[in-house]
């Protein structure tokens, strides 16, 4: 059994690329237009849209300090990314997640993911045991009642330059639920 006192002294953290306001606004408009037809229990607040690079989990204050130092060592060029498309994780009859597709410099994004994994390992964090699939979570918790085959058309392609990544803290049951607690530049040499 987990020690509740120990859990109370931790922060639930992850590393991500934030989605800029204009892109988030387009995704929000799309979700509002299609929410009634897409039966999900929990819709992501537009301020919480992001592309996860690494989920870290419950982190102590000491780990947080070491993590901040490790993330400062990550070097990468800015990336041209775009929101373009909609998809699901899971079966069409019972999907787990509705997501916005990410396109653009995906090789660069994968390389950034690899650099972050290498640096966070030095601070004692291990990557999840599944392939990296960049996406923007829009909704979770399918409630049933309709098949997800034939999703509505996606919002129009919207490009942006990702010039930084962030360390985010989760505040469970809040909305918005994520707080940026560190920002790290992606810079041209």
Per-residue DSSP letters for 8-52?
HT-EEEEEEEEPPHHHHHHHHHHHHHHGGGS-EEEEPPGGG-EEE
- Residue 121 · residue 36 · CB < 8 Å: no
pTM of structure: 0.90
Q: Which is the catalytic residue, given 45, 64, 135, 164? A: 135
Question: Is residue 106 over pLDDT 90?
Answer: yes
> Helix (H, G, I), strand (E, B), or coil: what is residue 159?
strand
Does the active-site annotation cover 135? yes
Q: Which is the catalytic residue, given 45, 50, 64, 164? A: 50
Least confident of 56-60, 105-109, 150-154: 150-154
Residue 39 confidence (pLDDT): 86
pLDDT digits (tens, 9 = 90+) for 145-169: 766 666 777 776 789 999 999 999 9
Question: Is residue 5 over pLDDT 50?
Answer: no
**In whole angstroms, what is the distance from residue 183 CA to residue 16 CA?**
10
Does the active-site annotation cover 64? no
pLDDT band for position 94 (cuts 50, 70, 90): confident
């Amino acid at each position: 059994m987990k020690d509740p006192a120990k859990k109370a002294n931790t922060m639930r953290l992850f590393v991500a690329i934030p989605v800029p306001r204009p892109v988030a606004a387009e995704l929000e408009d799309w979700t509002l237009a299609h929410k009634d037809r897409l039966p999900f229990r929990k819709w992501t607040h537009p301020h919480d849209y992001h592309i996860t690079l690494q989920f870290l989990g419950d982190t102590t204050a000491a780990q947080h300090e070491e993590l901040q130092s490790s993330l400062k060592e990550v070097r990468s060029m800015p990336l041209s990314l775009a929101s373009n498309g909609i998809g699901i994780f899971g079966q069409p009859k019972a999907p787990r997640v509705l997501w916005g597709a990410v396109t653009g410099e995906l090789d660069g994004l994968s390389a950034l993911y690899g650099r972050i994994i290498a640096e966070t390992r030095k601070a004692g964090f291990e990557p999840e045991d599944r392939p990296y699939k960049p996406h923007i979570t829009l909704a979770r918790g399918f409630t049933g009642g309709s098949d997800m085959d034939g999703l509505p058309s996606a919002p129009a392609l919207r490009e942006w330059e990702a010039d930084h990544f962030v360390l985010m803290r989760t505040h469970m049951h809040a909305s918005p639920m994520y707080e940026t607690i560190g920002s790290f530049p992606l810079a041209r040499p």
